[in-house]
Amino acid sequence: MKKLKISHNNMAYIYLLPWIIGLLMLQVYPFVKSFYYSLTDYNPLADPKFIGIANYVRLFTKDKEFGKSLAATIEYVLVTVPFKIIMSLVIAMLLNKGRKGIGALRTIYYLPSLFGGSIAVAVLWKVMFMDQGMINAFLNKIGIGTISFFGNPSTALPTLSSLEVWQFGSSMVMFLAALKQVPSSLYEAAEIDGASKVKSFFSITLPQISPIIFFCIIMQTVNALQNFTSAFVITQGGPLKSTYMLGLKLYNDGFLYMKMGYASATSWVIFGLVMIFTLVLFGTSRFWVFYGDED
C-alpha cells in the first residue's frame, strides 16, 4: 500500500482544523445568526418572522427603557474606565519600588481580580453597602449616618462602579511590567537636566507606557459596555432604572419576556458601541500613544 504523503502546509491545516471548526461553530455562526434574529420577531416557542429593522426602530424611537439603559451604560463606562486605569497605575508605581515583602503585596493587590465578574463578589459588595452593612456601620460610628447606597439613584451607579474599579489587578500587573521596561537612563538624564519627579512622570513614564495604557483602556471599555453580573445581582437595574445596563436589558428582553429578536437587536447596539469607542480610541491614539520604533 502506498503511504499517504502530506505536505508541511497541509499538516498545519490539519492541526488547526479543530480550532477552525470551533471558531466557525461557536463564534462565527452565532455572530451571524444573532444579526439575522435581530431582524425578526423571534420567540423561542415559534419560528422567526422577518420584520426588517423594526426592532432597531422601536429601540431608538419607542422604547423609553432603552434610553435610560443606554445612558446608564455610557455613564458606567465613563466612570469605571478612567478611575480603574488611574488606580491601576498608581498602585503599580507604588509596587514598583524595591521593598521588603513587595512580592506578597503584589499578590494581595492582584487577588480581587481573580474573582472578577463573580456572583459571590457582587453579593459581598451588596452586603457591605446595604443599609445595615459594614460601610454604614462605620459611617454611623463617625457620625455621618446611614446612606442608602443602592436605594438612591444618585449613589447607586457610583457604588456599583466602585466594584469594577476595585478589581484593578490585571491592569496593574501590565502596568507594573511596563514600568520595569522603562530605561533608567532616561530618568538619570532627566535628573541631570533638573527635571522634577512630576515632570519626569509626564515626559518619560507616561509616553513610555502609553501603548499599555491604550490597550488597557480598550479592554476595560469593552468589558464595561458588556456589564451584567453586578447590575443583575446587586440592583436588578434599580432604583428608577439608574443602573439598568444594556446587558441587563438584553437579558430581561430575551429570557424574561422571551423576545429573542428584540434582545438580539440590543446585543448589536452593544456591539456598535464597542466599535464606536474602539474606533475613536484608535483614531486619537496617534496623538498620545508613543511606540519606541517611531521617529
pLDDT tens across 133-150, in order? 899 999 999 988 899 999
Q: Are 253 and 259 in contact (CB under 8 A)?
A: yes
Instruction: Name the superfamily (CATH) of residues 64-285.
Output: MetI-like (1.10.3720.10)
pLDDT 10s digits, 52-105: 999 999 999 999 999 999 999 999 999 999 999 999 999 888 888 766 666 676
Q: Which three cell numbers stand for residue 158?
A: 457610583
Q: Indicate the pLDDT class of residue 223, thresholds 50, 70 and 90.
A: very high
Handedness of CA 160, 165, 171, 172 (dihedral sign): negative
Q: Within the chain, how many helices (H) and strands (E) appear?
A: 15, 2
7 Cβ neighbours under 8 A, 6+ residues apart: none
C-alpha cell at 183: 530605561
Decide if 145 contacts 60 (C-beta within 8 A): no
Of the ranges 41-50, 165-174, 221-230, 254-263, which one carries the lowest mean pLDDT score? 165-174
What distance in Å separates the CA atoms of residue 258 and residue 255, rounded to the nearest whole number?
5
pTM of the model: 0.88
Output phi, psi for 2, to 5 deg. Answer: -80, 135
| Segment (H or E) for 114 | helix 102-114
**What's the grid cell of residue 141?**
460610628
User: What is the SS3 assignment for 283?
Assistant: helix
Q: How far is the C-alpha of 58 from the C-alpha of 150, rounded, in Å?
A: 30
Confidence of residue 166 (pLDDT cuts 50, 70, 90): confident
pLDDT band at 157 (very low <50, low <70, confident <90, very high): very high
The pLDDT value given to residue 4: 53
Helix locations, 167-289, DSSP H: 169-180, 184-192, 197-200, 206-225, 229-230, 246-251, 260-285
Collect all residues with Cβ–Cβ distance below 8 Å to 95 and sequence separation of at least 6: 102, 105, 106, 109, 172, 176
- The single residue listed with the C-alpha cell 423576545 is 259
The CA distance from 162 to 125, in Å, is 9
